Chain A
Amino acid sequence: MNVHSLTLPQAVAGTISVALLLVQLALLRSVVLAELITLYAVQSLFVAFISLAVGVQDRQWDLIVLAALTVAAKVVILPLYMRHLSRNISTRVEIPERINVTLSLIIAAGLMGVAILVAGALPLRTGAFLPQADLATTLAIVFVGFLVAILRPNALAQVIAFLTLENGLYFGTVTLAPGLPLVVGILLLIDVLVAVFVFAVLVRVLVEQSASASVDVLQRLHG
């Protein structure tokens, strides 16, 4: 398939897959939890659009419905919910000194290179929706998602990293296996569960810890 035969949804989706990768890289330089949550929301909006584009192209109504659900859940409700939960805790995400932002971006670029090489070696092009970018983008998002989870000692940041990794899987399923809308739906459900259960539990634990810590401070002030 050559570039000139791309349909409009494919062309726009190709551009958006680049934006998806950029968002994933931006996670590495962000030091505030709220910013990570916003990046996740933006990325979710992009994958929702990909789902919409494939749905329109292939006349698959389930993917269009899933796109709408994704916008409602992952772009609006979950990010607001997570920001609400984390309003009372320290939301600064420490960046370890040994691997600073520049170095981590270089590692991420290396991982993306690996993703492109692996994907480039595979002739999975027949009838694919994004023949140039589907597998490479999926693997790159997954790899960098793992990198963020490994490099950030903050548990909440790791949850966001996991959620963006899920976005990569969402993208991969929609573009590489458009016949599996059920899987896309399950992915959406897992995101909701992780955000509601894991994130909420972690915040609760952190709040308890900081509460006890502040009590210590008060006692020390009293002498």
Chain B
Amino acid sequence: MSPLVALIVAVPGVAAVASGLLPSCVGRPVTALAGLVTAAAIVALAWLTAHHQSPVDAVSALFLLPVAIVYGGAGLYSHWYVVAERDAGEAGEGYRREFLALTNAFACAEAVVPLLTNVAGMWVALEATTIVAALLVRLQGTDAALEAAWKYILIASCGLGLGLVAVVVLYASAGSALGMHHAPEWAAYMHAAKRLEPDGVRLSFIFALIGFGTKMGLAPMHTWLPDAHGSGPTPTSAMLSGIILSDALYVIVRFTAIANAAVGPGLARGLFFVVGLLSLFLAAFFLLQQRDVKRMLAYSSIEHMGIVACGFGFGVPLALTGALLHTINHSASKSLGFFAAGRLADRYHTREIAGIRGAASALPVSGGLFVVAALALAGLPPFGIFRSELMIVSGGFGSSAYVIAGIVLALLLVAFGGIVRWVTATTIGDPPDTIRRGEAAPYALAAMSIGFVVVLGLGLAVPGALGSLIAEAAAVIGGTS
């Protein structure tokens, strides 16, 4: 194992143990530092991978980037968050230590998933993230949090159960090619793709898309997502939305590559359209009628995962690279959105959209960044999501899938309407007199600046190294032949 890879896993792991054992006044800087060091290590690994000097492939390096963006921010944000919870009288020392330890453990499990190429190992690591995430969601101890936690464990585990069927069926499909006791390495399956049982691979892909798609929040398996993302602590929501969804997509991408190589791209593309359009459709209309800021962001996650799935459905290189870039953009803007929404909810003591007025005056920076995140998520230029959505939709028109590309465009407009409506409602105007104005929370602002820089930067230009990573990953997935 290369030292960088070891660092990416060991830093959050050690931070988890340290912040669990030490008092939270030490745990807070430890967590913030761990997030930044891990982020730096991931960026270095991605850069080396783009220059072909790394032990991991382009797909792994690419799907590690959401961990860098979101965990880097969440570590800093937690530094502010646990104190804000204490000032609000909601958290004791035990809560703070448990929260910090679990947050680092969560990041550790999330960083392991994209590093693995063993298909069974990916499943194990995703299960681990489910368990840690449920413990985090439950942490606030309210009835809603408990319900969200057990719903999450049951539905995500049922989904992952179907994912396991996919792993097992793939394993059996390779029985004659690789033997009944082989190591389920992705590269071995790719190498033997033409000798796998084609019907077994097809069945395996269907189960993988349904099973891991549950974890990715694709409709109609999305029902747990708004509860879990809406109920947990804010950094947890950001990590659930910004990293877990891309981790699940990582596993689906590995299965897609095998399916495309073994049986051609037709099956995968058709199924991606079904779940993608359904997710977009449901999310667009739920976005119009949400009343809770964090649930709104959660439905927006379903929308964006639907867009990514449609990009995979179009299958042409432009749409595939757009979908992969969209994953990174979504992680950045969604974590920014949750961090800013958490600041608003803390100041206004509510998550109801109706209760938040004039946020841009009360919290000039956080309120402004909240608008930025929302407009970015709605797909407005000059932010990164505009670029990747444009790539996906024009890829769709370029591949002559006019009807589907048209539907995607129409649903994007509906979602846009929903988001703009609630953003104007919460930020414009004067805040109530009881609300304190101004803000001084350097760590929270630093956390948000990470997401802001990424989402704005990727809108202006895609760095060459990232571009070549994405192109290489898109070539691995294939699906154009």
Contacts and interface: CB of A to CB of B under 8 A. Distances in A.
B199 interface: yes
Interface in B331-372: none
Interface in A195-218: 197-198, 201-202, 205
A101 B157 CA distance: 27
B199 A122 contact: yes
B184 A180 contact: yes
B199 A121 contact: yes
B154 A198 contact: yes
Interface in A165-223: 165-166, 169, 172-173, 176-180, 182-183, 186-187, 190, 193-194, 197-198, 201-202, 205
Interface of A: 58, 118, 121-124, 126-128, 134-135, 138-139, 142, 146, 149, 155, 158-159, 162, 165-166, 169, 172-173, 176-180, 182-183, 186-187, 190, 193-194, 197-198, 201-202, 205
B455 interface: no
Interface of B: 120, 123-124, 127, 131, 134, 138, 143, 146, 149-150, 153-154, 157-158, 161-162, 164-165, 167-169, 171-173, 175-176, 179-184, 197, 199-200, 203
Nearest to B153: A198
B157 to A, nearest CB: 6
Nearest to A129: B180
Among A139, A146, A177, which residue has the most Cβ atoms of chain B within 10 A? Answer: A177
Contacts of A139: 165
SS class, residues of chain A in contact with chain B = helix
A135 B167 CA distance: 13
Contacts of A155: 150
A169 B161 contact: yes
A149 B149 CA distance: 17
Contacts of B158: 146, 149, 162, 165
B200 A198 contact: no
A114 to B, nearest CB: 12
B171 A180 contact: yes
Contact of B124 (A121, A123, A182): A182
Residue among B161, B173, B176, B203 with most chain A CB within 10 A:
B161
A142 B180 contact: no
A201 B168 contact: no
B154 A158 contact: yes
B169 A124 contact: yes
A176 B171 contact: yes
Given A123-B199, A193-B131, A179 B123 contact: no
Contacts of A58: 181
B197 A123 contact: yes
B165 A127 contact: no
